[in-house]
Amino acid sequence: MTEKKVWTLKSVAKELGVSNATVSNAFNRPDQLSKRKREDILASCERLGYSGPNKAAQSLRKGQFNIVALVLPDSVEYMITDPVASNFVKGVSSVLEKSKVNLLLFSGTSDNINAVSDFVDGFICYGSPRNTKLIDQLRTTSKKVVTADFDIERNASVGIDNQQAAYEIAKLAINTKDDLVAILGLRLLDSNLTCRVYDLPNTDIQCSIAHQRLNGYHKAIEELNVDLRADRVWNIPQSTHHSALIAVREALTSTPRPNVLLCMSDLIALAAIKEINSMGLNIPEDIRVTGFDGIDEALRSNPPITTVHQNSEKKGIKAAELFINRATDSIIIPFHIEHGGSC
């Protein structure tokens, strides 16, 4: 097999005896040359095996890449496992595919967006990235940024009213002022540890959905005059069964045993329900549990989880649309409370 010549716009132009600009125009600006000549050139290129201007060079020149980086809350691996995140990606990608924009997955554990920012038209950021350095970088980058489920000033964003949702579901779960409430929080701390939360950090992470939800819970708790003990809030670093289970067990074995578990994700609530069932306790008689997200599995659980249903796929679609349209709106997507049997 003979070595295939690698054509460039320049070499093609020379071969065809026309100028560079003409070849470039044939591909990019049909109005700049006769139809006849354009078709001639395109046909010749096809014959030679030149498939058009090099995209990398083109992008360098134009400053446009047709790639958007999706900044994930955690490693790529984690996203795949999380149904909520997956649905968001699904929504984003469905819109981008239509616009011929490619999706670059960017891990929330990376330490610098510079690694890709020269390659992309901007960022869609789903949730507060695990590495909080990224937040500042996203705040100051000159590229377009759309955030979902958290907010950094100056940018377009989509999300639900987390505080209100948390407030409503907490009101539903708590019956009397003597209820013993425990909160199983998701990423309240900037740490990999599953542990109790005695003090909240006063940092960037405050803008996260976790804190908005916590505020909502607190609001309900105060309104109902419930006494939330200082040692009844847990931090779970990621929404996986394993991490959740540790906190769930701590909570369920603490004395006096809580009878209301406010969980910041359905996966946490699922872990709680499984554990409660296996302890021989009854839901909701002995313990009431609430979730958050409204994933399919939450509806199939026994009992089904009472949870905040949010449409992640739609959120992804909206985020991508904001990006494509260069909008700067903040969109609030409606949620609804899904009444299961867990409270």
DSSP string, 219-232: HHHHHTT----TT-
Does residue 64 contact residue 93 with C-beta atoms inside 8 Å? no
208-267 residues in contact with its own copies (CB under 8 A) are none
Can residue 48 be called a binding residue for its own copies (CB under 8 A)? no
Provide the residue type at 184 as one letter.
L
Shorter beta-carbon distance to DNA: residue 63 or 256 = 63
| Main-chain dihedrals φ then ψ at residue 307, nearest 5 degrees | -150, 170
Q: Which does 207 bind (CB under 5 to 8 A by kind): DNA, its own copies, none?
A: none
**Residue 33 partner contact from its own copies, DNA, none using kind-dependent CB cut-offs of 5 to 8 Å:** DNA
Which residue in 104, 207, 228, 331 binds its own copies (CB under 8 A)? 104
Q: Considering the complex, what minimum distance in angstroms separates the CB of residue 112 from its own copies?
A: 8
Site membership for its own copies, residue 76 (CB under 8 A): yes
- CB environment 321-333: b (16+ within 10 A), e (fewer): bbbbeeeeeebeb
User: Where are the extended beta strands (E) located within 51-200?
Assistant: 67-71, 102-106, 122-126, 144-148, 156-159, 181-186, 195-196
297 binds its own copies (CB under 8 A): no
Site string for its own copies, 132-151 (x = CB under 8 A): ----------x---------
Which of 114, 191, 192, 325 binds its own copies (CB under 8 A)? It is 114
C-beta closer to DNA: residue 58 or 206: 58
Listed in sequence order, the residues at least 6 apart from 150 whose beta carbon sits closer than 8 Å to its beta carbon are 125, 127, 128, 157, 159, 207, 208, 209
Could you say whether residue 277 binds its own copies (CB under 8 A)?
A: no
Chain positions contacting DNA, by CB under 7 A? 6, 8-10, 17-22, 24-25, 27-29, 31-35, 37, 52-54, 57-58, 60-62
Query: Are 155 and 328 in contact, with CB atoms under 8 Å apart?
Result: yes
Which of 6, 31, 47, 198 binds its own copies (CB under 8 A)? It is: 6
Question: Any alpha helices (H) in 174-300, and if so which ranges?
Answer: 209-223, 241-252, 266-278, 296-300
Compute the least distance from the CB of residue 48 to DNA, in Å.
Answer: 12
Question: Residue 18 carries which side chain, given as an amino acid letter?
Answer: V
- Contacts with its own copies by CB under 8 A: the residue count is 43
From DNA, its own copies, none, interface partner of 246 (C-beta below 5 to 8 A by class)? none
Q: Which of 20, 44, 109, 240 binds its own copies (CB under 8 A)?
A: 109
Query: What burial class does residue 337 get, using C-beta atoms within 10 Å of its C-beta: 0-12 exposed, 13-18 middle, 19+ buried?
Result: middle
Q: Considering only residues 80-99, where is the footprint of its own copies by CB under 8 A?
A: 80-81, 86-87, 89-90, 93-94, 97
Q: What six digits make up the tokens of 217?
A: 């819970």
- List the structure tokens of 147: 């955030």
The least distance separating its own copies from the CB of residue 74, rounded to whole angstroms, comes to 11
